[in-house]
Amino acid sequence: MPHILYFIRHGIAADRSLYAQDGDRPLSEDGSQKTEKIAQRLVSLGVTVDRILTSPLLRARQTAEILKAAGMSDRLEVLPFLSPGGRIQDALVWLEHCPAQSLALVGHEPDLGEWVESLVWGEPKQSLVVKKASIMGIQLPDGGDPIGQSQLFWLAPPRFLL
């Protein structure tokens, strides 16, 4: 299981009312530009990972591609458990078999915030505010169940990275 997880919410997306399917919403022009700046800043701070994992929804995939292009990782994988409503248990089962030491997980709210809260506090408390293009860094324990045993070491909204 990896030791470091960076949870990254997708960037600002186009208006919902313009798309019949939520999964088809792309990043807005402003969302793309801000996400590119944030990605460059993260890489300049030394944030690189073995692999970027992303939700299959377009806005998340675009965010992940921006992170990859900035040099955060050269490997990107689309995984269904990062879709809205995905379960942390499914992610943990997948992570059990992942040889990577560090991962970036690009997804959606409220799931990402609830997953981080579960990893740190043992249950979702719905207290973390996770803005679009925010990043949360989690250190997982060396062994055992990471639920309630992980350490939050970074929570940065986009304004701290721009």
Confidence of residue 2 (pLDDT cuts 50, 70, 90): confident
Sheet holding 151-156, edge to edge: 76-78, 51-54, 102-107, 4-9, 135-139, 151-156
**4-160 maps to which CATH number?**
3.40.50.1240
**Domain boundaries of the chain, sorted by first residue:** 4-160
* Helix and strand totals (H; E) in the chain: 4, 6
Global model pTM greater than 0.75 = yes
Q: Which tens digit of pLDDT belongs to each residue from 79-109? A: 999 999 999 999 999 999 999 999 999 999 9
